[in-house]
Structure 1
Amino acid sequence: MRKLLRGTRYLLAGLPSAIATLLAPPLLAAVALSSGLAGLGLFAFPRATVVLRRWAEWHRRRAAAYLGVTITPRDLVLGKGLRAQWRQVLDDPEVRRDARWTLRQIATGIPAGLAALALVGTPVLTVVAAPLWWLFPADEPLRLLAGIPVTGWGSALGLAAGSVAGFGALSWWAVPRLAGFHARGCVAALEPTAEELLTERVGELTESRAGVLDAHGAELRRIERDLHDGTQARLVAIAMRLGVARESLPDDAGALAKLLQEAHEGAEEAMTELREVIRTMYPPILADRGLDGALAALTAGAGVPAEVELQDLSAGAARAGELGKLPASVEAAAYFIVAETLTNAAKHSGATRVLVRLTRDGGRLLVEVTDDGIGGVNEALGTGVVGIRRRVAALDGTVLVSSPAGGPTAITVELPCAS
């Protein structure tokens, strides 16, 4: 009985709300059309979606309470400015989900509510009307259920009892199931699909990974500064003191002179190795001159004539000779990609010219390195392209290598660089 009462209350309360929801589609359409006609809708439409969200959330909370499940609230808070509000409304999949829900609520809420009203109301109406059979004229008697005439107290009581028993049993079976069907449909209609959840999760992971990579790049820069300004400076000072000590020793110092010589040479080797470590961690020139200056210095010192072209196509206008601000991880990856390809071109390709082109277009950076060498790059032999692929894969980028026998060789790398 408790399930019957809960289901009846849920469906009967949803019937007038479903009828009221009939107004939502035409009102939204009218407000949207007024945006182009009178302009009032430009201000009203985003706020109408907020009202629709609250209306849909009220039904969603009712359905979740009936089912006994927990849901996450879906709030819609408009930003500042009409353009931002419209972009927010048009890009939000939840707004489209609310609009689809209105059609479903109309299509299921009204029939379900009417069915519950008929199932529960028929026996009640029969019990109320049956005792009044004697008020009807004999030639037009009261008819109940399937049009059965009531001619006396026996038929009145029998029809009332049969109506209560039959419709009561049918209501006890059907109403809770009908209410559960409607509630589950309401919650499901306003919940994101598995694909949307996966897409949202991928976006969150991509954003978090970008943050981790930026933090990693910042930490590498900090370590590079510490090693450069601290450890390397101390090694230089030690090497200088050892050199002075060697010069101060007499010619017949013997074993002591040899020890100082080994210590001096060891300190210089340690400095060389430390510089190499610093360069491979995060090139100091990137911090000093940025990616533009670092690439210019890199190509100037390459073993083959190289030219650099930079272009920024974002912000709706092409700007040659600059790329704008890039994440540290992307700058480092682009630098090492160009460095590796220039090294390969100088050592293996026999190229006489290399063109390095970097193009930024919105949230991606395209790095293209082309040489006129003999081609025939074979990644199976452990070329530097394998290292490039690993570095790019860490940033969720793509690598395309074109190197037919006889050349030319073109390596195209696409890196996401949205901040």
Structure 2
Amino acid sequence: MDLSTTRTYVSRSARAAGYCAIAAAHGLALVVLIPVLVYSAVLCLVGVGLLVLPLELRLLRRLADAERSRLGRWAATPTTPAGPHTRSTLRAVLSDPATGRDLRWAPCMAVAGTLLGLIGAVLFLFPAAVLVLVGLWWVFPADEPIKVMMNIPIDGWGSALRIGVPQFVLSVLLALTGPPLIARLAAASSRRLLAPSAAAVLAERVAALNRTRTGAITAHGDELRRIERDLHDGTQARLVSLAMQLGLAERTLGSDPEAVGPLLTRAREGAEEAMAELRDFLRSIYPPVLADRGLAGALSAVVARCPVPAAAHLGELGEVPAQVEVAVYFAVTEALTNAAKHSHARSASVTLARAGDTLRAEITDDGRGGAAEGHGTGLRGMRRRVEAVDGVLRVQSPPGGPTVITVECPCAS
């Protein structure tokens, strides 16, 4: 076994031991949390538990999501974190399907996670303990010599070399192979309890499709109403004015030909303004810059025009479906508009990258934060656009900032 292979085995065992140590820490935390959850559930009978139990379940969700995030390295299939609860009432928390999985995982983790975690961490440290104990055989009384493994006493340097060295080699083998096996066993157990079943995944998928379909229909209706309003209040009004001016010029032509010139001039100006408004209106439906320069070029132009000083970090995107380009373009545009109008940000940044078949955009600003979907239609519109292309929008905007809006859309051809 060469040096690089040895380093690989040691590094893998060290990572596994770290996973086991964290699993043991989570297990011990759950040993404390589970009785608190039970006590709070009983207190729901008198009303007090209705206030404290949701907070405790959110803490449990944080522990469970931390475990879900760590499963990818050791479990056969990674598990996506369930995310924080969207609402704080007990009914809403309990209605979340992931809460049931969290509660199912907690007692198993408290017992099996603690035991497996401690065993894995101790196995990694076992060679050091063997080396120290064998080297300090002389500290122990002669009538009670040290027995490290297999109940074989070590009472001199001869027995330390004859017995201690093989025991140390055996402990090293256990340290290199034991923690990874235990980490995989613990991760597989956690994933079985924390990951949704195939039926649950299908049900959540159907619910998400129904929700996005409803959102897409609503967004489509809102868009049609916006188009009708913009055409009625803008372009149509200018065209009516243009027709009136041309009619007046027609009637004036016979009686006062010299007055027709100014009327035609105003009519031409009105026609030019109507065409400009119509061009702006068409850009709001599908920006021509997307067709001309692609998504990266279009967002570079948006960032350059942003009233807030902004930076763009654009990676290689490859071929992106047109509907995804539109959704991401308008999401970034709306996020930067919100940063300039409502967040009072001093700077912003846009990061756009593609990982496999997923396009990910992240818009960050250093404003005052506190953005929420209930405060206006901007974020709701962004979410509808993104979910209409089967994407995901996440908003992190604590009071005081910063605000981070993440958009992830599938872009497989």
Length-normalised TM-score, structure 1: 0.46
* TM-score for the superposition, normalised by structure 2: 0.47
